[in-house]
Structure 1
Amino acid sequence: MLVDQEGLDPNFSATASVAGDRAVVTVTGEVDMSTADAMFRAATKDDASAATLDLREVTFFDSAAIHALLQLAEFYGDDRLRVLPSTQVRRVLEISGLSAQPWLMAEG
């Protein structure tokens, strides 16, 4: 499934699939105030009870993206969310004091 991206930044995409009870969302490009909600919706659209957010192809991640990520952690719970960060995402999360979150996986 490709999230409806009408009006969104052309440098952003979020694709989602479900494997068992886990939503797997691959995000590419820039996640900012104009695209963070689309990332959240892609990760919560299906009836999954867990999610993997693959951010390894994300090139920009701002405070709106952090907020959406924290909303996902609240939605799924720390033990049912996995986040695969890009170098840029990891750096932003480190600066924000979020690098020790249980949902943050090692760089891929």
Structure 2
Amino acid sequence: MAGAVDGDHVTVIVTGEVDMATADVLFSTATPPDAAAATVDLRGVSFFDSAAIHALTRLAEHYPSGRLTVFPSSRVLRVLEISGLAGQPWLKPDSAGAAE
């Protein structure tokens, strides 16, 4: 998991698994001090569980009003569809699977 800050915008690129062991790292990496907006690239994620879903919903609360953008992998998108979150405005599925 890598995060880069540019001004008040943080970009986080995640690969592999996001689960109970790594979901808090995702959240903390995506919420550095002074960040007002975030992009979370999950296109390289192969496993995504309920702890990861919770981290995303926390990020959506942390970055309201269109200040969060999430690019899901096809696997992440499927989990979010099942959980009823596929229609969230922060989710940009047009790029799903681009890094798979």
Same fold (TM over 0.5): yes
Look up the match of 1:75.
Answer: 62
Aligned to 2:92: 105
Change (3 A) 1:78 1:61: farther
Q: What CA distance in whole angstroms lies between the structure 2 residues aligned with 1:15 and 1:46?
A: 16
Shift of 1:33: 0.4
Same amino acid, percent of matched pairs: 61
Runs of 4+ in 1 over 6 A off after TM superposition: none
1:94 corresponds in structure 2 to: 81
**Paired residue secondary structure (1:48):** coil
Of structures 1 and 2, the one scoring higher in RCO (CA 8 A, sep 6+) is 2
Count the aligned residue pairs: 95
| Alignment counterpart, residue 22 of structure 2, candidates 35, 52, 73 | 35
Give the aligned partner of residue 2 of structure 2: 15
The AA in structure 2 aligned to 1:105 is K
Is 1:85 aligned to 2:72, yes or no?
A: yes
Gaps of 5+ in 2: 96-100
- Aligned: 1:60 with 2:47: yes
SS in 1 for 2:86: coil
Instruction: Give the partner amino acid of 1:45.
Output: P
- The residue matched to 1:79 in structure 2 has which SS? coil
8 Å CA contact 1:56–1:87 kept in 2: the answer is yes
Unaligned runs of 5+ in 1: 1-13
